[in-house]
Amino acid sequence: MPEVYFTVQLPDGTRKDCYSPSTIVHKYFAEGDEMSVTDFVTRSRTALAAASERVRAAYGYYCTSADAQISAIERFTQSQPADGKVRIINI
């Protein structure tokens, strides 16, 4: 299953590299997209859950890396303003 790495820029200027075990994240994010922190977290949860489901369908188990990535996203966005802008630098 093709994995995807994407880089986001948080409202404070920090850049974070993120991982998805599936290309399904392209349905939720595109290079140059800007969205609120709240929207980014919501989309990330949805995209990574769908990616993990694709892994389960193909291999019979959910992707723990997708779960770990959403946990990391929740952690690193926690200190950001909810209405601040997240930008997808590359995907």
pLDDT in tens, 1-52: 689 999 999 999 999 999 999 999 999 999 999 999 999 999 999 999 999 9
pTM of the complete model: 0.92
Strand ranges across the sheet with 34-36? 15-20, 4-9, 85-90, 34-36
Is residue 72 over pLDDT 80? yes
- CA 61 distance to own-chain centroid: 20
Question: Could you give the CA distance from residue 14 to residue 27 in angstroms, rounded to a whole number?
Answer: 24
Tracing tokens 């939720």 back to the chain, one arrives at 28
Range of the domain at 39: 4-90
Domain count, the chain: 1
The band of 60, judged by pLDDT with boundaries at 50, 70 and 90, is very high
Specify the pLDDT at position 2: 87
- CA 9 distance to own-chain centroid: 12
Specify the pLDDT at position 74: 97
Measured from the Cβ of residue 63, the count of other Cβ atoms closer than 10 Å reads 24
Specify the pLDDT at position 49: 97
